[in-house]
Amino acid sequence: MNAQDILKKYQLSVTDSRLSVLQIFMQAGGALSHSDIESRLKGFHDRVTVYRTLQTFAEKGIIHQIPTIDNAVLYALCKEDCTDGHHHDNHVHFLCTECEITTCLDEVVVPVVKLPRGFRQNDVKMIVTGVCKSCK
């Protein structure tokens, strides 16, 4: 599915900036931060537009967010079945300390965890740090 199809699928107007951001994600191997995207756009679009685009994509379920410990949330494309408020990205994320690239390990499902009595569980995120296959 190409960029334009994705936008239409999620009922978004097809615009230049949205297409560009989508294409950047599709080319990138791993997850990207706001500033990663900004720099790859090489000034073609405004910073504010990028903020709004990422927010829209996340809300629609086109991209999902990956928490980090360095004040720079990462974003990555979702697989098919994410929709409006409902993401299903229960895979593990891997941050390589060598190449600094964060990847979605789509095939690695986040293991279940048993919480103490009284806790109700909604969503789980798991971030593994280490050395990736390429950098080994």
CB of 103 to its own copies, least distance (A): 10
97 by Cβ neighbours in 10 Å (0-12 / 13-18 / 19+) ranks as exposed
* Among positions 17, 68, 83, 90, the unique one binding its own copies when judged by CB under 8 A: 68
* Window 10 to 29, contacts with DNA (CB under 7 A): 12-18
Q: Are 98 and 131 in contact (CB under 8 A)?
A: yes
CB of 1 to Zn ion, least distance (A): 28
> In angstroms, what CA-CA distances link 20 with 6, 27, 43, 105, 108?
12, 11, 12, 24, 29
Distance CA 37, CA 45 (A): 10
Cα dihedral across residues 123, 95, 36, 109: positive or negative = negative
- Binding partner of residue 26 among its own copies, DNA, Mn ion, none, CB cut-off 5 to 8 Å per kind: none
Nearer to its own copies, 14 or 109 (CB): 109
Q: Are 50 and 37 in contact (CB under 8 A)?
A: yes
Span interacting with DNA, options 50-58, 80-88, 91-99, 119-127, rule CB under 7 A: 50-58
The rounded distance, in Å, linking the Cα atoms of 33 and 16 is: 20
Shortest approach of Zn ion to residue 51 CB, angstroms?
28
Position 46 contacts DNA (CB under 7 A):
yes
User: Is residue 76 involved in binding Mn ion (CB under 5 A)?
Assistant: yes
Give the residues lining the site for its own copies (CB under 8 A): 65-73, 92, 94, 97, 105, 107-108, 110-133, 136
Contact residues: DNA, CB under 7 A: 12-18, 34-35, 44-49, 51-53, 56, 71-73
